[in-house]
Structure 1
Amino acid sequence: MTERPSKSRAPALRLVLLATMAVLFTARFFIGARSRGAETLWDLFLALAILGVLMFLFLTVPASRARKAAGALRVARPDAVIVETYWGAGYTDFFLRPGPLMKHARGRGGRILLVADRRGIELVRPQGKFSFGLIPWNLVKEIRLEELNSPFASRPKLVFEIHGITTPFQDRFELLPTGKEERARAAQSLNAILATQPATHP
């Protein structure tokens, strides 16, 4: 089985904070309902507002940062194809081998920008625009689309098979296109990625 990175402190603290806030305000609401009557309505509003802010910080902000980072890369590298993707332990095969780059994966899931040009495939973490390195085209065996089936819906995933022994990357890994637009045009993105291969590449 593919080795996963250990959970980093930041994602773990976020989950603990979110769960703690939810439990505390839920408990306060039900306890207060017995003693303060109508005042508990304001407690409920406050709890929902705080939870909304937490959800915004933990979900919307990273997505916005990823879009901005992707836009900046498209300006800086107009010849490259850039696809916004996500990896997550439990439903995608991890992209890195054990090593010093593991800490930069930031926990057990996160957004990754897939950058393809004539040199090869590059994976970039939007936060800080950290590059995990380049996979030259001569090391790429296959890139294809498969379906990830979940209890709620199915979605496309990009599957990469490479000769990864001389790179920090696994021989096989998966990335999920993020957002409705990226998922809808996954096939077009795959074709665009493959079209960046030099003509000499088999």
Structure 2
Amino acid sequence: MKVGVIRFPGSNCDRDVYHALELAGGEPEYVWWNQKDLSNLDAAVIPGGFSYGDYLRAGAIAAITPVIEGIKSLVKEEKPVLGICNGAQILAEVGLVPGVFTVNENPKFNCQWSELKVKTNRTPFTNIYSKDEVIKMPVAHAEGRYFSENLELLKENDQIVLQFEGENPNGSMEGITGVCDETGLVCAVMPHPERASELILGSDDGLKFFKGIVNY
């Protein structure tokens, strides 16, 4: 399973994602922002960081780079695409997942471990989890508050992937912190599964996200 790890100026979780994919048995490959042809890949992950310094708003500049055309081609080919933190913001910015990730209710950078509930396991990234399983992963963002005008539709279509269990650290609507498109093949999550991929880090609950890609 050859998985592209997308890199922008300002990405800072790319090596972590690469390592997690290796742990999961995948074959990661770095892909730069100016690569348009991603036809050699089986899947892609857009990692966290601060693409282009989060100027304008998080993900706005990354959304107009050539690699996005390659990502859209992967989606048309029904290949899995995962966006983590800044990657989630980018996927929302280009309309590949519904809703937006905007400034936290308390407008400061928030970094902490969080308990999360897996709301659907129909995606390639969550198919190893049990539905409603509670897992532990960290968040680290200033613009992670999720909002959608079509909340009931998301529920009907089973597009809510993760919700905060207990404390809602950023004020997201109904604690939502991960969503997918209607197919489930494009997934955007604010927590960092790569930072919870080994027990030495405090949790290995996130490794299943990457094992799910490889199994798919």
Tell me the TM-score range normalised by the shorter chain.
under 0.3
TM-score by length of structure 1 reads 0.25
Q: Whose radius of gyration is greater, 1 or 2?
A: 1
TM-score by length of structure 2 reads 0.24
Query: Which has the larger helix fraction?
Result: 1
